[in-house]
């Protein structure tokens, strides 16, 4: 708070004691000073870790590199990663206390998968999207998957464009519908439901 007040004070001195909107600096400073007190941060304070899960190596025998994670309404955690086992897209789910719930993976038709986004639906289902790359690391396709609450693969959708497809974002609405925004060189930007 002191830093903010000092910054406002310097700003007021330079701005001739009146902000561009016409508000007097003295009133703004009084508002800033009367705000809630922020206790100083102690550099020695440590935040407790409530649980740690996972631990599979990120190499060809593990889950791959974690990309994104999401939490459902019950507190279950879902993580999308890849390449699992050296080439698959993997989704791993943990309970609110960090216990492994389930793990599901899909293999690419060509190349190697990298995870991009994961989201949870209101009913606890998990939707994930990833892209696969060729041996040069060039993106060649995108795959979206949906797993049931129990971890069974419900569906898989593969789509691609001519050049360098990339995933922008995955979201799920209140009814559980999944939307993915993606683009590709020479094709443009797409939103798919």
Number of domains in the chain: 2
Which residues, in sequence order, are CB contacts of 182 under 8 Å at separation 6+? Answer: 142, 159, 165, 166, 167, 168, 189, 190, 192
- Calpha distance 5→29 (Å, rounded): 7
Instruction: Summarize pLDDT for 90-122 with one digit per residue, the tens.
Output: 999 999 999 999 999 999 888 888 888 999 999
CATH number reported for the structural domain that contains residue 106 in this entry = 2.120.10.30
pTM across the whole model: 0.71
Residues 20 and 78 in one domain: no
Q: What is the CA radius of gyration of the chain?
A: 24
Instruction: Summarize pLDDT for 16-74 with one digit per residue, the tens.
Output: 444 444 444 444 444 444 555 666 666 677 888 888 887 766 556 677 788 899 999 99
| More confident site: 11 or 179 | 179
Residues 103 and 187 in one domain: yes
Residues 7 and 76 in one domain: no
């Amino acid at each position: 708070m002191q830093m903010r007040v000092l910054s406002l004070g310097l700003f007021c001195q330079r701005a001739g004691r009146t902000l561009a909107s016409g508000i007097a600096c003295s009133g703004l400073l009084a508002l800033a000073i009367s705000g809630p007190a922020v206790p100083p941060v102690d550099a020695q304070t440590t935040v407790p870790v409530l649980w740690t899960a996972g631990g599979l190596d990120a190499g060809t025998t593990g889950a791959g590199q974690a990309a994104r994670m999401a939490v459902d309404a019950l507190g279950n955690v879902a993580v999308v990663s890849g390449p699992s086992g050296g080439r698959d897209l993997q989704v791993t789910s943990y309970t609110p206390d960090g216990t492994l719930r389930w793990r599901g993976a899909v293999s690419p038709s060509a190349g190697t998968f990298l995870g991009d986004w994961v989201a949870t639906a209101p009913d606890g289902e998990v939707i994930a999207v990833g892209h696969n790359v060729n041996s040069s690391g060039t993106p060649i396709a995108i795959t979206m998957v949906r797993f049931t609450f129990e971890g069974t693969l419900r569906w898989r959708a593969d789509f691609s464009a001519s050049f360098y497809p990339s995933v922008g974002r995955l979201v799920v609405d209140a009814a559980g519908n999944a939307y993915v925004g993606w683009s590709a060189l020479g094709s443009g930007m797409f939103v798919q439901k």
